[in-house]
A and B are shown apart, each in its own frame.
Chain A
Amino acid sequence: MPGLPGRRDVAVVAFAQTDHRRRSDELSEVEMLMPVLHEVLAGTGLRTGDIGFTCSGSSDYLAGRAFSFTMALDGVGAWPPISESHVEMDGAWALYEAWVKLLTGEVDTALVYAYGKTSPGEIRDVTTRQLDPYCVAPLWPDSVSLAALQARALIDAGDTDEPALAAVAARSRTAARANPHAQLSGPVPAGDYLVRPLRTGDCPPIGDGAAAVILAAGDTARRLCARPAWIRGMDHRIEAHSLGVRDLTDSPSARLAAERAGAFQQPVDTAELHAPFTSQEVVLRKALRLGDDVDVNPSGGALAANPVMAAGLIRIGEAAARIHRGASDRALAHATSGPCLQQNLVAVLEGES
């Protein structure tokens, strides 16, 4: 995206996440979130009062608690009043908002966080409430069922088969052995069909977790982080509303977002894809033109831990952390929202040598 007036360089300078667990009954949302907020602040030496803008992503529907994000703000220390915003979306979109705020030049630093406590509810039922209320939601099609329709379409099209999907699951959870925060790692059985053709092994673990990121601009970023993960571009796009209008074997929105983010200008060495179901990785690899030389989901991805509303932000955080520690020079991070990869965000991150 050339030619933006006042364009600034913005980087991810810190990332933290909780251990992701099936349940966290002993913790309220703010109790779960606060340690990661403290961790990213400590990692940069910043205090709440130093942060120019705070933006969060979460959904009240997950735990059934109205305005839970206002209580989560207790963990930030929001008094005296801070400049703050919230999206009822994955935290990746909160990061997008914060990035735009930094690009305007209004602020030099931003705190972005997201959390999801799915254990109190039935996530498969909860996600039906985001669907078209006239023709789709009254049927209560759960998230696994919709993903299975997409998986079948991919198998019919010859893009994959059940053993290939099982291999995606195995590769992800093997990689997750190096991720201390993962909920599911190592050998996981393919399992029975949950909704055919998807088996339990093709589906993400259900669990609770939180993550936080700090963004900073220009020299502030260089001061806060030895090797900032510079955001070279970021864009998000959405598919047509109705599933029956879409070609479920492709993701034009992910491809367009990647193009607008500059992902195709040079090869990436790493891709963190938000693909909660094995079949969705097949779609994304194709749409994002990722070859076998790209290290896809070295963290294990959403198949290893899928705290809803945080899992997309974690993809950006994992990609950035890899750049921070010198394991990647140019990484693609992707986040998704909605059924069958309905909406897609792509960010391109780079480290300077």
Chain B
Amino acid sequence: MPEVLSAPLVVEFPFTRSLGPVQSAFLTGLRERTVLGVKTSRGQVLVPPVEYDPATAEEIRDLVEVAPTGTVTTWAWNPAPRRDQPLRTPFAWVLVRLDGADTALLHVLDAPGPDAVRTGMRVRVRWAAERAGAITDIACFEPYEGEPGAPAAPHDGRFADPVTGIVAPARLDYTYSPGRAPTDYLNALAERRTVGERCPSCRKVYVPPRGACPTCGIATAERVEVGPRGTVTTFCIVNIKARNLDIEVPYVYGHIALDGADLALHGRIGGIPYDQVRMGLRVEPVWTEGGRYPDHYRPTGEPDADYDAYKELI
């Protein structure tokens, strides 16, 4: 069996999230070095604040200011910080009950080592130098020996230029392997051959093969070389340029049923003005030097295929 293919895959989204009145006040408050909580009708102060009482589902809006000092309620020592975690050096994860609050906030504690951390220890907020209205405006917590903070005090939650939304970047890194059937397909493609797989039950040839026949639910294994020529079964004209794609618009993207395949694959159709592409057009792959897959498909010059020859593949 040839070596399994793998490639780096990065999934990255900048999620744009709007804030309700409570989250907006909380995150704007952090920007202004003010920690806000919310008071339930039972008098409990929740920090971080939420819009609805987790016990009663009652809508809660009574904001209060709590102290930037508090007590560690539990902790865990992280000897090897991961890429996006708040500190670069080993630190403790902590739940901190701020003075004036009845619930605890998750954050990190900058401490020299696990022996310097204990449940019940006193800590205070270390503010980030640059603050934008985010939980990371608290750079971390640090040990604190001073007086406890004042009790919670009412706060109207109003600040100049309130933060109304956050952009939360999320990046995950993968090393992707496509599995056996797609690996065989991609390896053959690199040798300029298109190889599908035939279902042992219904005899259909799938290109590209994914390892299973979706009709019969069984493994495909018999390799079948198809093409290289094929028929355009349907197509569309792309008028909007995709980011990171170096192709002039308009261009044509089509479904192409390679000769011998029972499933049409996708490909760009070139070598012909975009407004002359048609269903039934006969095409062949165009390979570029060193390319592992066809760059596009171009007309072969053959007469168009009869509709009846490809109608089951549309």
Contact = CB atoms under 8 A, between A and B. Distances in A.
B203 to A, nearest CB: 15
A145 B172 contact: no
Nearest to B107: A139
A30 B212 contact: yes
B17 A134 contact: yes
Q: Chain A interface: which size bin? A: 35 or more
Nearest to B138: A139
A43 to B, nearest CB: 16
Contact of B106 (A34, A73, A141, A153): A141
Nearest to B166: A134
Interface in B7-27: 9, 11, 15, 17, 19, 23, 26-27
A65 B11 CA distance: 9
A15 interface: no
A151 B83 CA distance: 24
Contact of B170 (A26, A76, A129): A129
Contacts of A152: 74-76, 119
A121 B180 contact: no
Interface in A59-79: 61, 63-65, 71, 73-79
Nearest to A129: B170
Contacts, number: 188
B1 interface: yes
Interface stretch (A85-93, A237-245, A281-289, A330-338): A237-245
A103 interface: no
Contact of B86 (A63, A120, A124, A139): A139
Given A133-B17, A156-B119, A196 B79 contact: yes
Given A121-B172, A129-B172, A152-B119, A145 B74 contact: no
A245 B103 contact: yes
A219 interface: no
B108 A244 contact: no
B174 A121 contact: yes
B78 interface: yes
A177 B177 CA distance: 30
Contacts of A1: none
Interface string A105-143: 000000000000000111011100100011111111110
A136 B1 CA distance: 45
Given A79-B215, A133-B15, A134-B17, A28 B178 contact: yes
Contact of B136 (A34, A129, A138, A193): A138
Contact of A28 (B93, B108, B119, B182): B182
A25 B174 CA distance: 12
Nearest to B1: A26
A78 B206 CA distance: 15
B191 to A, nearest CB: 20
A227 to B, nearest CB: 28
A27, A73, A74, A75: residue with the most chain B Cβ atoms closer than 10 Å = A74
Contacts of A352: none
B300 to A, nearest CB: 32
B291 to A, nearest CB: 24
A120 B135 contact: no
Listed residue (B108, B168, B179, B180) with the most chain A CB atoms within 10 angstroms of its CB: B179
Nearest to A29: B179
17 contacts: A30-B212, A31-B180, A31-B212, A31-B219, A64-B172, A78-B217, A121-B174, A126-B172, A138-B168, A141-B106, A145-B93, A148-B77, A149-B75, A153-B73, A195-B77, A195-B78, A240-B54
Given A79-B214, A122-B172, A244-B104, 14 more contacts: A27-B180, A31-B211, A74-B210, A74-B211, A77-B215, A120-B9, A121-B174, A134-B17, A135-B26, A139-B107, A153-B74, A196-B77, A241-B54, A245-B54
Interface of B: 1, 4, 6, 9, 11, 15, 17, 19, 23, 26-27, 46-48, 50, 54-55, 73-79, 82-86, 93, 95, 97, 103-108, 114, 119, 134-136, 166, 168, 170, 172-183, 210-219
Interface of A: 25-31, 34, 37-38, 48, 61, 63-65, 71, 73-79, 120-122, 124-126, 129, 133-142, 145-146, 148-153, 156, 193, 195-198, 240-245, 248
